[in-house]
Each structure stands twice: as structure tokens, then as C-alpha cells.
Chain A
Amino acid sequence: MDTIRIQQQPFDAGAEIRQLIEADPSMGAVVNFVGVMRNMNEGDAVSEMMLEHYPGMTENALQKIVEEGRERWQLGSVTVIHRVGKLQPSDEIVLVAVTAAHRGEAFDGCEFIIDFLKTRAPFWKKETTTQGERWVEERESDIAALKQWNRQV
């Protein structure tokens, strides 16, 4: 079962993971990734961030990424929650949680979903620094992370 949510309010990663575990007692592994807002970027202190998305398209893009993950690995349940709106340092931005019968598939599935989310799902960050406001640039390292998945059959 997939849960995909985009929301302004904070999420409780512990509660979400607990729900995934209880959803299917045949699953022996749950791996999760929580993306957290940093107080630094490109060498500047960041005090605040504004996140926007493309309503409708973003949800569909996330659904597709999860389905691609399911084609590669035997995954149990998947939860993807992404916050939008105003965020402060140490706020949790995104949760990807994946269950599987064993840890290998759960690790791979979780990493695959966050790597594709970073480069394929329409979200944009604007940060407030001591220099003023600026849109965050895409990262080469995120694009490089995708390539490892394309190499794998």
C-alpha cells in the first residue's frame, strides 16, 4: 500500500513508521529516510526556506517513482510525505519509508525513491540567507546519484 502526501504541517516520522510496521506482519524490514532542513547552504547561513510544488503533477510524479521502485524490488508498503510552505532549520522536510520482507530490498527501495524524488518530482526551494532570498540550484551530486540506478539492471 502506498501513502503519498504533500502537506504544510509537520509529520511524525515515528508514528508513520509504526503504522507501516503494523500494516503487514509479514514484513521484516523498514528503512526510512528523513530529509532535514540545514542552517547552511553554499557557505551561507540559512534562516528560513519556502517550498513550493506543482499541485497534481507532484503527487503523480511521486506515485510513478514508487511504482518504478516496485518494478525493481519486492516492496511491502511505501510512505512518502513531503512538506511545502515555510520551513525553519532542523524542520523535517521529507519522509520516505519502505517495508520489505528483508533489509536489502527495503534499503534499495528507499534510496531509489529519494534519489528520484530529488531530481524528478516538481518541488522548488527558496531560501532566506543573510544575503537575502535566493532560489536553490540543483545539485550535480543529485544528478550523479541517479546514474547509479541506470547502470543497474
Chain B
Amino acid sequence: MIDILYFARFRERLGVEREQVALSTPQQTVAMLMAELAERGDNWADIFKGTHQVLVAVNQEIVKPDSELNDGDEVGFFPPVTGG
């Protein structure tokens, strides 16, 4: 299982703050996970397959879409940051 966290406008539009999902294959990448989430349709498709810029952190480090996921990972999805 992995923990997925959604932040800011993604959390609001998806209506989910945090969920646990099982890895579908042993060598699942971030891009594969995003494609699976997009299959849920509606806002999920819009965010994960649309024109939104999606930043991804695995275990709280920004990663690229081809990064592999491991059981127990924490995956965070968020839009570009706007602090300061």
C-alpha cells in the first residue's frame, strides 16, 4: 500500500485529502499511478490527464514521473507553490 496526499486546489477539486491504494504492479512508476488516477474520470481525469501542472513528491522529495514507487511510500500531489 502507498499513502497518497492531495494538496491545495487538487484536494478541493477531488474532495480527498488522503487515501491508501495498493500498487498495481511491482514496478509501478509515478506516471503509471497518475494514469490510474485519471481513469477515475471527471476531475481526476482533468487533473491527472489534463493541462494542469502537477508536482509530485515521493517521501517528501520532489520526483520525476518515471520514478518507481515502493510499498509504504508517501506520495504527495500538488500544484505549483505560491508561498512567501
Q: Tell me if B24 is interfacial: C-beta within 8 Å of chain A.
A: no
A135-B9 contact, Cβ under 8 Å, with A60-B60, A122-B78: yes
Q: Tell me if A120 is interfacial: C-beta within 8 Å of chain B.
A: yes
Tell me, rounded to whole Å, the shortest Cβ–Cβ distance linking B5 to chain A: 7
Tell me, rounded to whole Å, the shortest Cβ–Cβ distance linking A23 to chain B: 24
Tell me, rounded to whole Å, the shortest Cβ–Cβ distance linking A90 to chain B: 16
Q: Tell me if B35 is interfacial: C-beta within 8 Å of chain A.
A: no
- A119 and B7 alpha carbons, distance in the complex (Å): 16
Tell me, rounded to whole Å, the shortest Cβ–Cβ distance linking A60 to chain B: 6
- A82 and B83 alpha carbons, distance in the complex (Å): 9
- Consensus secondary structure, chain A interface: mixed
Q: Tell me if A11 is interfacial: C-beta within 8 Å of chain B.
A: no
Is the interface on chain A under 10, 10 to 19, 20 to 34, or 35 or more residues? 20 to 34
Interface string of A111-137 (1 = CB under 8 A from B): 000100111111111100000000111
Interface string of B69-83 (1 = CB under 8 A from A): 000000010111111
Cβ of A138 and Cβ of B81 under 8 Å apart?
yes
Contacting residues, chain B, for A138 (C-beta < 8 A): 80-82
Q: Tell me if B14 is interfacial: C-beta within 8 Å of chain A.
A: no
Q: List B56-76 residues whose CB lies under 8 Å from chain A.
A: 57, 60-61, 76
Q: Tell me if B84 is interfacial: C-beta within 8 Å of chain A.
A: yes
Tell me, rounded to whole Å, the shortest Cβ–Cβ distance linking B75 to chain A: 12
Which of these binds chain B: A12-20, A24-32, A49-57? A49-57
Cβ of B5 and Cβ of A54 under 8 Å apart?
yes
Q: List B18-37 residues whose CB lies under 8 Å from chain A.
A: none
Cβ of B81 and Cβ of A124 under 8 Å apart?
yes
Residues of B within 8 A of A (CB): 5, 7-9, 57, 60-61, 76, 78-84
Known A53-B83, A136-B82; 8 more pairs at CB < 8 Å: A54-B5, A54-B76, A57-B76, A93-B84, A94-B83, A122-B57, A124-B8, A124-B81
Q: Could you list 5 A-B pairs, sorted by A, with CB under 8 Å? A: A56-B60, A57-B60, A121-B83, A124-B82, A142-B84
